[in-house]
Structure 1
Amino acid sequence: REILAAREVRATLAALEAAGSAARYVQVDARDGEALAAALRDVREEWGPVTGLVHGAGVLADKRIADKGDEGFEQVVSTKVDGLRALLAATAGDPLEVICLFSSVAAVFGNEGQADYALANEVLNQVASAEQARRPGCLVRSVAWGPWHGGMVTPALAGHFGRSGVPLIPLERGVAAFTAELDGAPGEARVVLVAGDGPAALSPAGGPRPAEILVRADTLPQLADHAPAGVPVLPVAMVLNWFAGAGAAWRPGSGPLVLRDLRVYRRFALPELAGAGHRLTVHGSRSTTGSPSGLEAELRGEDGVVHFRAEVDTDATAPDPTTWGSPDGLKPLGRDAWYDGHLLFHGPRFHAVRTVRGVSEHGAEATVAGLRFLGWTDGHGPLDPAAVDGALQLALVWARDVLGEATLPMAVAECRVHRRGPVDGTVRCVVRGRKAHGTGARCDAALIDPDGSVRLELLGVELVRRPS
Structure 2
Amino acid sequence: MALLAGSGELLEPLAGALRARGWTVHTGREAPEGAERLDLVVDCVEADGHEAQLAALRETLLLAGRTQPLLERAAGDTRAAFVTVTRLDGRLGLSGTAGVERAVPGGVTGLVKTLAIEAPALFCRALDLAPELPAGRCAEVFLAELYDAERALTEVGHAADGTRVTVTPADEVDPSSPGEPGAAAPGADDLLVVTGGARGVTASCVLGLARQHRTSLLLLGRTPLTAEPGWASGVAEDGLRAAAAAELKRSGAKPSPRAVEAMAREVTGVREIRGTLADLRAAGAGAEYLAVDVSDADAVREALAPHRARVTGVVHGAGVLADGLVRDKKAGDVDRVLATKLTGLRNVLGALDGERVRHVVLFSSVAGFFGNRGQSDYAMANEALNRWACALRARAPRTRVTSVNWGAWAGGMVTPALEKMFAERGVTLIPVEEGVRYFVEQFSAERAADTVCVVGPRSPLSAREPAPLPAGGLVLRRDLAATAADPVIADHAVGGVPVLPATAAVGGLLGAVHRAAPGTRVTSVRQFQVHKGVVFDDARPDVLETTVRQVDGAPEYEVSVRDGSGRPRYRALLVAGPALAAARVTGLPQGGGGAPVPYYEDGTLFHGPALRGITGVLDAGRRLVLAARLADPGIARGAWQAPGYSPVLSDLLLQAVLVWARVHRGEAVLPTAVGEVELLAPLPAGEPFRLVVDAVSETASGIRCTVTACTPDGRVLQRMREVEAVPSPGLAAKFAAASRS
Structure 2-normalised TM-score? 0.32
Q: Which has the larger radius of gyration?
A: 2
